[in-house]
Amino acid sequence: RATSNHKVKETVALELSYVNSNLQLLKEELEELNSSVDVYQNDSESISVPMIPLGLKETKELDLLVPLKDFISEHYGAEGILFEKEIKEFMELRQAMRTPSRNEAGLELLMEYYNQLYFLDSRFFPPTKSLGVFFHWYDSLTGVPSQQRALAFEKGSVLFNIGALHTQIGARQDRASLPGLNQAIDAFQKAAGAFNYLKENFSNAPSLDMSAASLNMLVRLMVAQVQECVFEKMTLLRAQHDFLTQLQLAQEAARVADVYSLVHQTMTQAHVKDYVPFSWTTMVHVKSEHFKALSHYFAAIALCDCPVPSDAELPEQEKAFIQFHVTMPEGPSLRVLLQDPEERRKLGKAHLKKAIMKHEEAMRIHGLCKILRKMDILQEVLSFAHKRSLSKYSEIDHEEDFFETGDAPDIHPKTHQKPEIKSPNFSQVKVTDLFHRLGPLSVFSAKNKWYPVRRVHLMRGENGFGFTLRGDSPVLIAGVIPGGCASVSTPGSSYYIISVNGKDCKWSKHAEVVQLLKSTGEEGVEIGVITL
């Protein structure tokens, strides 16, 4: 659109088609990366179901040297060249945060850069004028590039990467141990918090991965992964095979199935399903069926493997069992059911039948996705659980069973540890304003304007210099005494003292400025003042 020269148009069209084909390749690679979940998994021997981590958003290099130097000269009236060291330091920090390490240090680096953006915003981004710099970021799910002049896009993208890095740290933990599980829970809760904070505080992002619908889906996915870790934690902690523990495990598994089912619904919504990797949607669907199967399996174990309760145990078991099913099972009363081994076996068999159906459904869905079929670890988990339910079924199935195995009611979902959404704690990484030499932010910010610096030469009279001071950093000339030395050369509006005899006083305290003025000799003093 910017040219009428056909040759230029052809060249640009050619370059664009090249860029687009590269993007298509990048998109396919990203889909592979985002779905090669095992890359982030731990090296432990025991099997845990893989989790879904997110790839980081990529960004282009950004050269801020000229725009910031120009702004310092124009807006602050200082020589831009004197601030080259600070500008380069900021650019180095940005360069480093593009490739953070997958650990606490990487998170701290992203947080440090995010906190520096607050100062950059206050110093260099006035509300009415653009700095003329574009921030380029690529969508983490599709690889499509977006650009904006608004610093909010840069902040939001860094915040997205804080969440994404938490997902990678969570997926790498060894979930076969309690410390590993607790770290995974913490990481996924913090990831949910980052995406939630982003959703609530940054709207109108130009890229799809940061749209409200997408962030809502990511928050739910993280909460589901926390819930799954809570279930795994419970299987580790409650090794005893008593009736109540097995019921709790069944309800905990039903809860995991429920939250994954919700994530699956969210992922298949019209404006989300087109860009969420198919392997994610499939994995979430597989998990919702798999945990549904596990809930029925543990219900069967409680009924078939645990001894009939004594009279003392009966009230407690009856109370737990009343709230266990979504609808009451058909047949005898609860008290009779719990005390009759044959009735327990019947209901247990119905639960196992349902478990086997759900296992088979999970395996069928898993088989539909090429990428998941390559993932041996998931295949292993599904087939182990399926075989376990089958062997239990054949163990309790009697040849002389003439009754039709009934339909077991679903299990009421319940958890003993609700996932928390942990908002980012930005204050844990302390940063100092790289551009503090420009002066205190209360005055020397992008939104304030002031007249050029005035240099005023004053002689000391009988009553001093003829003005009063108040405040700190910078010190304000509060009042001019009529007829005093200052009244001749200083009109009445509020002046900030920024230098005394060439010494920078922007950050000086009240007492320091008074001392500098007192120590001047008969030749008088030159003060630099500005007014907003």
Q: Which is more confident, 513 or 196? A: 196
Give me Rg for the CA atoms of the chain.
34
For the cut 80, the answer to whether the pLDDT of residue 176 exceeds it is: yes
pLDDT (0 to 100) of residue 520: 79
CA of residue 320 relative to chain centroid, distance? 38
**How far apart, in whole angstroms, are the C-alpha atoms of residue 158 and residue 166?**
13
Mean pLDDT calculated for residue range 208-227: 95
Judge whether residue 376 has pLDDT over 80. no
Mean pLDDT of the residues in the chain: 87
DSSP annotation of 341: H
Give me the pLDDT at residue 354, please. Answer: 95
Q: Using the predicted structure, report yes or no on whether residue 213 has a pLDDT greater than 60.
A: yes
Question: How much is the average pLDDT of 80-91?
Answer: 94
- Residue 6 pLDDT level (bands cut at 50, 70, 90): confident
8-40 tens-digit pLDDT = 777 776 666 656 656 655 555 555 555 444 444
**CATH class as words, domain 51-237+420-438:** mainly alpha
Return the closest-CA partner of residue 358 out of 370, 346, 369, 366: 366
Least confident of 103-117, 329-343, 430-444, 476-490: 476-490
Distance CA 366, CA 369 (A): 6
Neighbours of 278 (CB within 10 A): 16
Helix (H, G, I), strand (E, B) or coil at 504: strand
495-500 and 525-530 beta bridge pairing: antiparallel
**Cβ 530 vs Cβ 495: under 8 Å:** yes
Top-confidence range, 6-10, 32-36, 384-388, 528-532? 384-388
Alpha-carbon distances of 185 from 189, 280, 303, 496, rounded to whole Å = 6, 20, 31, 52
Lowest mean pLDDT among 167-171, 221-225, 247-251, 310-314: 310-314
Q: What's the pTM value of the predicted model, to 2 decimals?
A: 0.85
pLDDT in tens, 498-522: 888 888 888 889 888 888 888 877 7
- Mean pLDDT confidence for 324-338: 85
394-406 pLDDT per residue, tens = 998 877 766 666 7
Q: What is the mean pLDDT of residues 361-372?
A: 90
pLDDT confidence of residue 42: 45
Cα-Cα end-to-end distance for the chain: 43
Identify the residue whose tokens are 């200052």: 486
- Which of 206-220, 383-397, 516-530 is predicted with the least confidence, judged by mean pLDDT? 516-530
Is residue 30 within 8 A of residue 57, CB to CB? The reply is no
Domain spanning 450-531, CATH architecture:
Roll (2.30)
pLDDT of residue 489: 53
